[in-house]
């Protein structure tokens, strides 16, 4: 297959050329998790759908996803089998399972924080904190999630075989004051 065909399925939130995202997507880099204000507008602004590889697990996020980034820590690399993982923060009250919740397994990688994955196909779906879903993996979102990664975190322990080719901000561990994923 030629390059154009091969690249036809690249997710819209990932830039192969390493170009930086537009300026409006880089605001409030150091902000904490954004909690959408659903009371002011009366209703969440959009519904984002996600699913696992085999399709048995489906979920929805009833808000915009404004906070996402790439984590290079050793745990994310292991659990994804990849150079890094891309997560988006969600407010627990905006997350809901649509189907297949009984197929979701939870692995407590850190005290009180679990990685969620499909027991059938292994797709990593996101993470929980104290039993509540606080992040989703951007790779399991169907369609354009409307968010672009804003930073690379835990770069201090990134894989030696990977090179970051964009100019997003990099942090050795957590960004100051921030703790998503
Ligand atoms: Zn699955
Ligand atoms: Zn990580």
Phi and psi at residue 93, in whole multiples of 5°?
-70, -15
Task: State the pLDDT at residue 5.
Answer: 56
For the chain, give the percent of residues with pLDDT over 70.
78
The Å distance, Cα 85 to ligand 2 centre, comes to 7
- Which ligand is nearest the CA of 74, by number? 2
Task: State the pLDDT at residue 43.
Answer: 55
Residues sharing a CB contact under 8 Å with residue 110, sequence separation 6 or more, in sequence order: 75
The Å distance, Cα 181 to ligand 2 centre, comes to 6
In 34-181, where does DSSP find H-type helix?
38-41, 74-80
Say whether pLDDT at 59 is over 90.
yes
Average pLDDT over all residues of the chain: 85
**Does residue 12 or residue 24 have the better pLDDT?**
12
According to DSSP, the residues that pair with 114 across neighbouring strands are: 108, 128
pTM to 2 decimal places: 0.79
β-pairing, 68-71 vs 85-89, is antiparallel
| Model confidence band, residue 15 (pLDDT cutoffs 50, 70, 90) | confident
Cα–Cα dist 155/139, whole Å: 20
Task: State the pLDDT at residue 72.
Answer: 98
Q: What is the pLDDT of residues 95-143, one digit of tens each?
A: 999 999 999 999 999 999 999 999 999 999 999 999 999 999 999 999 9
Task: State the pLDDT at residue 9.
Answer: 78
The Å distance, Cα 105 to ligand 1 centre, comes to 11
Cα–Cα dist 69/18, whole Å: 14
Neighbours of ion ligand 2 (CB under 5 A): 71, 73, 76
Task: State the pLDDT at residue 29.
Answer: 40
- Which ligand is nearest the CA of 154, by number? 2
Task: State the pLDDT at residue 17.
Answer: 67
Task: State the pLDDT at residue 16.
Answer: 77
**Does residue 92 or residue 5 have the better pLDDT?**
92
Task: State the pLDDT at residue 171.
Answer: 97
Domain architecture of the chain: domains with CATH: 3-16+28-157 (3.90.1590.10)
């Amino acid at each position: 297959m030629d390059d154009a065909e091969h690249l036809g399925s690249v997710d819209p939130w990932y830039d192969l050329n390493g170009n930086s995202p537009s300026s409006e997507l880089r605001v409030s880099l150091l902000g904490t998790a954004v909690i959408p204000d659903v009371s002011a507008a009366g209703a969440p602004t959009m519904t984002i759908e996600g699913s696992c590889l085999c399709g048995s697990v489906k979920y929805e996020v009833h808000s915009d996803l404004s906070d996402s980034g790439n984590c290079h820590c050793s745990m994310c690399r292991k659990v994804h089998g990849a150079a890094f993982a891309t997560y988006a923060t969600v407010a627990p009250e905006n997350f809901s399972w649509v189907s297949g919740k009984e197929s979701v397994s939870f692995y407590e990688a850190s005290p009180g924080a679990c990685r969620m994955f499909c027991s059938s196909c292994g797709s990593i779906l996101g993470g929980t904190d104290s039993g509540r879903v606080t992040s989703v993996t951007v790779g399991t979102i169907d369609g354009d999630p409307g968010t672009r990664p804003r930073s690379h975190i835990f770069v201090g322990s990134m894989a030696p075989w990977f090179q970051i080719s964009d100019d997003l901000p990099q942090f050795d561990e957590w960004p100051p004051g921030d703790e998503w994923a």
